[in-house]
Amino acid sequence: MSAVSGSSKVSRSTTRVVATGALAASLVLLAGCSLAGGGAQQSEAAGTRTVTLVTHDSFQADQALLDEFQRDTGIHIEVQQSGDAGALTNKLVLTKDNPIGDVAFGVDSTFASRALEQGVFQPYTSPEADKGPQRYAVDDTHRLTAVDAGDVCVNADSRWFTEHGVPEPTSFADLTDPRYRDLLVVQDPATSSPGLAFLLGTIASTGENGWVDYWTKLKANGVKVDAGWEESYNQDFSGSAGHGARPLVVSYASSPAAELDDAGNPRTKALLDTCYQQVEYAGVLAGSKHAEDAGKVVDFLLSEKFQATVPESMYVYPAREGVALPESWAKAAPQPRSSTTLPGSQVQANRERWVARWRTLMQG
């Protein structure tokens, strides 16, 4: 789910990140303009009603589904993209008294508490909300509804470890072992969603009193820090097409599904005991002039048809239960059963202090 949260392999890159790669022909990148050609004015002129969906730069949708939704409801969805998850949340907070849209998608579990505290969203309970999204509820006000979940984990280049006769690490603690010196690349938590999630994962794993010592050991063990996911995964990671020099990288549990050999076998694997869960939410913006129609857009994002497209369009897991994952994911990208996480309120209260302390430690 996205934190400081772009391309098709893995959602959430440099600042929010999605991987590179060609999208299926049926997918379109929706960039702050009309989703169904002609723009809002033409839609209104044709007798449809326009709802503005404010989202992050990684949002992708099947045009055929959007067209079907418009035919069925008379609602034209106009997308306004607003950077990564952090930038999106900041913009929603700054414009809460004069909202820039009607519904928002992409505020993740790292920033949800801030958006709720600032009164960005109004209550709305979708009839689809009890079909899985309730597992990720942040509170009982029904202002945010989970749309997808992603797990940030260390990924390993399995072939590298086999060829070098080194066992793959399995835990956070293993990463400080001298056997893995100069093998790990991570992202700066101040500029990258997975980087922030990995930092939070280490804090959840080692505790408030242990994480600084843990990162001191990682630093001594030669960890490399890049500004964002794109650089670390596509340039420094040996398991990607860039064939970098480091066989361990912070990425997503779903990333190995994009790294299959000619026989369909994954060349990389996510280390499932190093995962931190991110959930992305949607909600009706407080002050929306089209709140009823905005609620129907939330329903659409939770529908079986849209949820079925989530894995391959945004490389995350659908929040709705019972949605089949792509066949290759069963072997290459199984969803972690128990990722670490921290309460949103704790993250909100400590995020800036933790990141500042990390930067002092790693750059000092």
Stretch (H or E) spanning 169: none
pLDDT tens readout for residues 177-223: 999 999 999 999 988 888 999 999 999 999 999 999 999 999 999 99
Task: Quote the pLDDT of residue 5.
Answer: 36
Encoding tokens for residue 90? 């900041």
- 307: domain CATH number is 3.40.190.10
When comparing pLDDT for 22 and 75, which is higher?
75
- Supply the range of the domain harboring residue 172: 151-276+336-363
**Beta strands in the chain, from DSSP E residues, in sequence order:** 27-29, 49-55, 60-62, 75-81, 103-108, 121-122, 145-157, 184-187, 224-226, 248-252, 268-270, 276-285, 317-318
Give the list of residues 6+ apart from residue 352 with CB closer than 8 angstroms, or none. none
Report the percentage of the chain scoring pLDDT > 90. Answer: 65
Residue 44, pLDDT > 70, answer no
Would 14 be classed as within a structural domain? no
Q: What is the pTM of this model?
A: 0.78
**Quick one: 74 and 167 in the same domain?**
no
pLDDT value for 33? 39
Q: Answer whether residue 169 is part of any domain.
A: yes
Give the total number of structural domains in the chain. 2
Average pLDDT value for the chain: 86
At 99 the three-state DSSP class reads coil
**Residues 328, 255: contact at Cβ < 8 Å?**
no
Q: Are residues 165 and 224 in the same domain?
A: yes
Task: Check whether 49 has a pLDDT greater than 90.
Answer: yes
35: pLDDT strictly greater than 70: no
pLDDT at 111: 85
Alpha-carbon distances, residue 162 vs 156, 211, 273 (angstroms): 11, 30, 20
Tokens of 341: 């996480």
Q: How many Å apart are CA 48 and CA 272, to the nearest integer?
A: 46
Range ranked top by mean pLDDT from 110-119, 275-284, 325-334: 275-284
353 and 328, same domain (yes or no): no
Q: Return the pLDDT at 46.
A: 56
The pLDDT-based confidence of 13 (bands split at 50, 70, 90) is very low
> Mean per-residue pLDDT for 117-144?
95
Residue 269 shares a structural domain with residue 343: yes
Same domain (yes/no): 122, 171: no
Question: 270 with 311, same domain?
Answer: no
Whether 217 and 355 share a structural domain: yes
Q: Each residue of 220-258: pLDDT tens digit?
A: 999 999 988 889 999 999 999 878 999 999 999 999 998
Residue 32: per-residue pLDDT: 39
Take residue 228 and report the two structure tokens written for it: 């964002």
* Mean pLDDT value across residues 9-36: 36
Please list the residues that pair with 61 across neighbouring strands.
Answer: 28
Amino acid at 125: T
Is there a domain that residue 16 lies in?
A: no
- Find the mean pLDDT for residues 302-311: 96
Judged by phi (left if over 0) then psi (alpha if -120 to 50, else beta), residue 168 lies in: beta
Whether 256 and 111 share a structural domain:
no
| Whether residue 259 sits in one domain with residue 163 | yes
Q: How is residue 164 written in tokens?
A: 């070098």
Phi, psi of 40, deg, nearest 5? -65, -40
235 and 343 housed in the same domain = yes
**Which pLDDT value is given to residue 31?**
37
244/205 same-domain check? yes
Q: Give residue 303's pLDDT band: very low, low, confident or very high (50, 70, 90).
A: very high
- In Å, how far from its chain's centre is CA 115? 17
